[in-house]
Amino acid sequence: MFYQRLAHILQLSDPAQKCQQTQQLYADWQQQPAILDAYDLPLPIGEAGRPDKPELVPPREVPSRGMGSELGRIILAHAIAHIEFNAINLALDAAYRFRNMPADYYGDWLKVAAEEAYHFSLLRDYLQQRGHDYGDFPAHQSLWEMAQRTAHDVMVRMALVPRVMEARGLDVTPGIIKKLQQVKDQALVAHLEIIHRDEIGHVAIGSKWFRYVCNQRQMDARVTFRQLVDDYMKGSLKGPFDEVVRTQAGFSEEELADLRAMEL
The residues spanned by each domain of the chain are 2-262
The CATH classification of domain 2-262, taken from the options 1.10.287, 1.20.1260, 1.10.8, 1.10.3470: 1.20.1260
Contact by Cβ (8 Å): 246, 256: yes
Q: What is the pLDDT of residue 210?
A: 98
What is the pLDDT averaged over residues 139-155? 95
What is the pLDDT averaged over residues 61-69? 84
Q: What is the pLDDT of residue 51?
A: 96
Query: Is the pLDDT confidence value at 164 over 90?
Result: yes
Prediction pTM value: 0.96
Q: What is the mean pLDDT of the chain?
A: 95
What is the pLDDT averaged over residues 32-46? 84
Query: Is the pLDDT confidence value at 106 over 90?
Result: yes
Task: Report residue 248's pLDDT band, with 50, 70 and 90 as the boundaries.
Answer: very high
H/E/C letters for each residue in 108-148?
A: HHHHHHHHHHHHHHHHHHHHHCCCCCCCCCCECCHHHHHHH
CA angle 251–102–199, rounded 5-degree value? 35
Q: What is the pLDDT of residue 38?
A: 65
Residues paired with residue 263 on neighbouring β-strands, in sequence order: 237
Query: Is the pLDDT confidence value at 168 over 90?
Result: yes
Contacts of 20 (CB under 8 A, 6+ apart): 117
What is the pLDDT averaged over residues 165-189? 97
Percent of the chain with pLDDT over 90: 90
Residue among 223, 224, 222, 256 nearest 239 (CA): 256
Query: Is the pLDDT confidence value at 232 over 90?
Result: yes
Query: Is the pLDDT confidence value at 167 over 70?
Result: yes
CA 257 to chain centre: 24
Q: What is the pLDDT of residue 195?
A: 98
Higher pLDDT, 111 or 39: 111
Task: Report residue 39's pLDDT band, with 50, 70 and 90 as the boundaries.
Answer: low
Contact by Cβ (8 Å): 79, 62: yes
Let me know if 246 is exposed, middle or buried by CB neighbors in 10 A (0-12, 13-18, 19+).
Answer: buried
What is the pLDDT averaged over residues 220-228? 97
Percent of the chain with pLDDT over 70: 99
Q: What is the pLDDT of residue 15?
A: 98
